[in-house]
A and B are shown apart, each in its own frame.
Chain A
Amino acid sequence: MAETLTIPRGRIDFPGIGFAIVLSAVIIFPLIVVGTWAFTEVWRYPNVVPQQFGLRFWNQTLSRADVWSALTLSLQLSTVVTLLSAAICLPAAYAFARMTFPGRNVLFFSFLAGHAFPKFGLLVAIAAIFLQLNLIGTFWGVVLIQLVGTLLFMIWIPVAAFQSVDRRMEEAARDVGASPLRVFWSITLPQAGPTIAAAVLLSFVGTFYETEGAWLIGAPGIRTMPVLMITFINNQMVIQYGAVLSVLLWVPSFIALLFARRIIGGGAFARGFGG
Chain B
Amino acid sequence: MARLDIANVTKLFGATRAVDDFSITVTDGELVCLLGPSGSGKSTLLRMIGGFEKPTYGSMTIDGEEVIHLPPEKRPTGMVFQSHALWSHMNVFKNIAFGLKLRRLPKAEITQRVEAVLDLVGLKGFGERLTHQLSGGQQQRVALARSLVLEPKILLLDEPFASLDQHLRERLREEVRDIQQRLKITTLFVTHAQDEALSVADRIVVLRDGRTEQIAKPAEVYRTPATPFVAGFIGQMNLISGVVSEGEFGHSAFNVPVAVADGPATLAVRPEALTLKPASGVGMGHVHRVTDYGTHAMIDVELPDGERLKSMMPTADEWSSMQQVDLVPGAFALYRDNAAIYRADVGTPPRKAPSRTRGTVNA
Residues of A within 8 A of B (CB): 166, 168-169, 171-179, 182, 186-187, 190-191, 193, 270-275
Contacts and interface: CB of A to CB of B under 8 A. Distances in A.
A186 B72 CA distance: 17
Interface in B65-99: 71-73, 77-79, 81, 83, 85-90, 94, 98-99
B329 interface: no
Point out which of A166, A168, A191, A273 has the most chain B C-beta atoms below 10 A from its C-beta: A168
B363 interface: no
Given A172-B85, A174-B52, A174-B71, 14 more contacts: A166-B83, A168-B85, A171-B52, A171-B81, A172-B86, A175-B78, A176-B146, A176-B150, A177-B73, A178-B99, A179-B73, A182-B102, A187-B87, A191-B89
Contacts of A275: 89-90, 94
B85 A271 contact: no
B79 to A, nearest CB: 5
Point out which of B71, B72, B146 has the most chain A C-beta atoms below 10 A from its C-beta: B72
Interface of A is mostly: helix
A191 B90 CA distance: 10
A193 B88 CA distance: 12
B157 to A, nearest CB: 12
A175 B191 CA distance: 20
Contacts of A178: 73, 98-99, 102
B98 A186 contact: yes
A266 B87 CA distance: 18
Contacts of A166: 83, 85
Given A166-B83, A168-B81, A275-B94, A176 B99 contact: yes
B50 interface: yes
Contacts of B81: 168, 171-172
Nearest to A167: B85
Nearest to A191: B89
A171 B51 CA distance: 10
Given A175-B72, A177-B103, A169 B150 contact: no
Contacts of B150: 176-177
A175 B50 contact: yes
B307 to A, nearest CB: 45
Interface of B: 50-52, 71-73, 77-79, 81, 83, 85-90, 94, 98-99, 102-103, 130, 132, 143, 146-147, 150
B89 A175 contact: no
B136 to A, nearest CB: 15
The 6 closest A-B pairs by CB, nearest first: A176-B99, A168-B85, A272-B89, A174-B72, A172-B85, A190-B89
A171 B72 CA distance: 8
A177 B79 contact: no
B336 to A, nearest CB: 43
A176 B87 CA distance: 12
A129 to B, nearest CB: 43
Contact of B87 (A173, A177, A182): A173
B83 A176 contact: no
B85 A176 contact: no
A169 B146 contact: no
Given A171-B72, A186-B98, A271-B132, A176 B147 contact: yes
Contacts of B73: 174-179
A178 B71 CA distance: 10
Nearest to B90: A275
A166 B78 CA distance: 18
B77 A175 contact: yes
A272 B88 CA distance: 7
B94 A172 contact: no
Given A179-B73, A271-B132, A169 B85 contact: yes
Contacts of A168: 81, 83, 85
B89 A172 contact: no
A272 B98 CA distance: 17
B162 to A, nearest CB: 14
Nearest to A169: B85
Nearest to B96: A176
B179 to A, nearest CB: 18
A192 to B, nearest CB: 10
B89 A173 contact: no
A190 B90 CA distance: 10
Contacts of B90: 274-275
29 contacts: A168-B81, A168-B85, A169-B85, A169-B86, A171-B72, A171-B81, A172-B85, A172-B86, A172-B143, A172-B146, A173-B98, A174-B71, A174-B73, A175-B73, A175-B78, A175-B79, A175-B147, A176-B78, A176-B98, A176-B147, A177-B102, A177-B150, A178-B73, A191-B89, A270-B88, A271-B88, A273-B89, A274-B89, A274-B90
A273 B78 CA distance: 26
B248 to A, nearest CB: 55
Given A174-B71, A175-B73, A177-B103, A191 B83 contact: no
A85 B150 CA distance: 39
B99 A177 contact: yes
Point out which of A169, A173, A175, A272 has the most chain B C-beta atoms below 10 A from its C-beta: A175
A121 B233 CA distance: 69
Contacts of A176: 73, 78, 98-99, 102, 146-147, 150
